[in-house]
Structure 1
Amino acid sequence: MDLLSKIGSYNFLVEPFHCDFSNHIFIGHLGNHLLNAADFHSNERGYGMDYLNSVHKTWVLSRFVIEMNEMPVAYERITVDTWVENVMKFFTSRNFAILGSNGNALGYGRSIWAMIDTRTRQPVDILQERDGLITRYIESEEPCPIAPFQRVKVAKDAEIHQTIATHYSDVDVNGHINSVKYIEHILDMWPLSWFKTYRLQRIDIAYVAESYFGDTLHFAVEQRSDEEYDIMVLKSSDNGTEKKEVCRCKLKFVKK
C-alpha cells in the first residue's frame, strides 16, 4: 500500500458565528478544528474512526494542550497541520501547528490519545491494530515548539466555583460529554469583562474519566497567580452525592 504524507494539512474558515465579541475565534471552536484535523488525518491513513468503529474500537482524548501567540479572526482562512509524534502500546502523541492565511504560525497544539474497546471501555494495544499501521506514519523530526503537558495539582478540598447540569448538546458521537465542552464550561466561569483585558494564551487539560448525560459537573478552582489558574472538574450523578474527578485543567492568561 502506498503511504500518504506523514503530515496532513487541513484548511478551515473562521466563521463569524464561531467568534467572540472581540472578533476572534472561540478557543472551543479552534479546539474542534484541531480534533477534526486529527480525525481527517487518521481516517485517510487507515487507522481512524471510520475503520475503528467497524471493529468496535475508538480513539479517546487523554491530554490536550493549545498554546496561541495570536488568535485567528473572523473570515480568516487557517491551516491546521497535524502529525503523529510517537506511538506506544496504549497511547499515541499527536501534534498540531495552526497557521494563518499568510503561513505564519499562530500557535501549536499537543495531544495524547488512547484506543479503547467500545464494548468494554478498556484500553486496546494500538500496535496490534492493522499490523501497527500507525507506526509507519510517525513523524518525530517536525518541531512543535511548545512545552509538553503541564501537570495540574488541585487540592481535593478546593472551593467549588460552579456547578452545572449536563444536557443534550454536551454529548458527542462517543456517547459521553464532549472534551471541548469542558473547556467551554470552564471559561464561562470568568465574566465578559475579564476577556476584555485578558486573552487565553495556553490551556492544558487532562481527561481522567468520562461523564455522561445527566451527570452534574462541579468546577473547583485554585488561583496560582493573577493570570494562572488550575481547575478540577468533578461529576456526581442522581443516585449519589459522591463526586468523582473527570478532568484537570491549567489556564494561562496574558494581558491584551
Structure 2
Amino acid sequence: MEKLSKIGRYEFLAEPFHCDFSNHLFMGHLGNHLLNAADFHSNDRGYGMNYLNTVNKTWVLSRLAIEVMDMPKAYDKFFVETWVDSALRSFTSRNFKIVGESGHVYGYGKSVWAMIDLDTRHPADILAVRGGLITEYIETEYPCPIEKSSRVKLLVGATPIRSIDTYYNDVDINGHINSVKYIEHVLDLWDVAWYKQHCIKRFEIAYVAESHQGDRLHFYREGRDSDTDFNVRITKSNRDSAEVEVCRCRVQFV
C-alpha cells in the first residue's frame, strides 16, 4: 500500500438545509463532517472500518471536543483536516482543523477513539492491527491549539430537563445510538430564543456507555461558573433497568 501523508484534507459544503435559522451550519452537522473525515482518513490508510469490519472490529468514539470561532454559512465550501497525534493499545487521539477556502480557520477539534470487538463489545488492541500500521501515521508537530476535554463533574442536584425515546433515525452503522445524535439532543435543551442571543463556542462530550434503539434517554443540566457555561448528563433506561449513565457533556456559549 502506498504511504500517504499523515494529515488528511477533505472538502465539504455547508448545505443550506444543514444550516440553522441564522444561516450557519448546525453544530451536529459539523460533528458529522469531522467523523466522516476521520473515517475517510483511516480507511485511506488501511486501518479504517472497511478493513476492521473484515476482522470483526470497529472504531467507537470515546471523547470529542469542538471549539469554534465561527461557523460556515450556507453554500460555503470548507475543508476538514485530520490527523492522529498518538496511539496506545486501548485508545488513539485524533485532531481536526476546520478551514475555509481562503484559509480562514473556523475552529478545531480533539477526539479520543477506542477499537472494540464486534462480538464482545470489549476493547481490542489497536497496535495489533496490521502490525501497528497506525503508528506510521502519527503526527505530533501540526498544531491543534485547543484544550483537551475537561473532566465534567455533575452535582447530585443537577436538574432533570427532558426525557426522550430513541428510534430508527438515532441508530448508526455500529448498531448503537449515533454519537452526533447525542449532540443534537443536548443542543435542543435550549430554545431558538436562546440561540438568537448566544452562539456555541465549545462543545465537549465523553461517552460512558452504549445505548440502543428503544432506550429512553434522560437529560440533566447544571450551570458552571457563568450563565453561559453548562454541564449536561445523559442517562438511559428501559423497561428492564434503572437509569445508567451514557455520557457527559459541557456546552460553552458566548
Give TM-score, length-normalised by structure 2.
0.98
CA displacement, residues 189-237 of structure 1 (integer Å, 9 cap, x when unaligned):
1110000000101001000000000000000101112100000000001
What pairs with 1:73-84 in structure 2 (closer than 5 Å)? 73-84=73-84
CA shift, 1:101, in A, is 2.0
User: Structure 1 counterpart of 2:72, which letter?
Assistant: P
- What is the rounded CA distance, in whole Å, between the counterparts of 1:154 and 1:180 in structure 2? 21
CA shift, 1:156, in A, is 3.8
User: What is the aligned partner in structure 2 of residue 50 from structure 1?
Assistant: 50
**What percentage of residue pairs aligned between the two structures are identical?**
60
User: What is the aligned partner in structure 2 of residue 68 from structure 1?
Assistant: 68
Q: What is the aligned-residue RMSD (CA, Å)?
A: 0.7
- What is the rounded CA distance, in whole Å, between the counterparts of 1:34 and 1:156 in structure 2? 33
User: What is the aligned partner in structure 1 of residue 172 from structure 2?
Assistant: 172
Runs of 5+ in structure 1 lacking a partner? Answer: none
- What is the rounded CA distance, in whole Å, between the counterparts of 2:210 and 2:142 in structure 1? 32
CA displacement, residues 9-64 of structure 1 (integer Å, 9 cap, x when unaligned):
00001100000000000000000000000000000000000000011000000000
User: What is the aligned partner in structure 2 of residue 221 from structure 1?
Assistant: 221
- What is the rounded CA distance, in whole Å, between the counterparts of 2:12 and 2:168 in structure 1? 26
- What is the rounded CA distance, in whole Å, between the counterparts of 2:113 and 2:238 in structure 1? 26
What pairs with 1:191-210 in structure 2 (closer than 5 Å)? 191-210=191-210
SS at match of 1:116: strand
User: What is the aligned partner in structure 1 of residue 236 from structure 2?
Assistant: 235
User: Structure 1 counterpart of 2:63, which letter?
Assistant: R
- What is the rounded CA distance, in whole Å, between the counterparts of 1:222 and 1:59 in structure 2? 31
What pairs with 1:99-248 in structure 2 (closer than 5 Å)? 99-224=99-224, 225-240=226-241, 242-248=242-248
CA shift, 1:157, in A, is 4.1
SS at match of 1:176: coil
- What is the rounded CA distance, in whole Å, between the counterparts of 1:185 and 1:5 in structure 2? 36
SS at match of 1:185: helix
User: What is the aligned partner in structure 2 of residue 19 from structure 1?
Assistant: 19
User: Structure 2 counterpart of 1:136, which letter?
Assistant: E
CA shift, 1:2, in A, is 3.0
SS at match of 1:33: helix
- What is the rounded CA distance, in whole Å, between the counterparts of 1:166 and 1:154 in structure 2? 24
- What is the rounded CA distance, in whole Å, between the counterparts of 1:133 and 1:46 in structure 2? 8
CA displacement, residues 173-200 of structure 1 (integer Å, 9 cap, x when unaligned):
1000000000100111111000000010
- What is the rounded CA distance, in whole Å, between the counterparts of 1:60 and 1:35 in structure 2? 10
User: Structure 2 counterpart of 1:86, which letter?
Assistant: S
- What is the rounded CA distance, in whole Å, between the counterparts of 2:70 and 2:250 in structure 1? 19
- What is the rounded CA distance, in whole Å, between the counterparts of 1:197 and 1:235 in structure 2? 31
Runs of 5+ in structure 2 lacking a partner? Answer: none
User: Structure 2 counterpart of 1:5, which letter?
Assistant: S
Structure 1 stretches of 4+ with a deviation exceeding 6 A read: none
User: What is the aligned partner in structure 1 of residue 91 from structure 2?
Assistant: 91
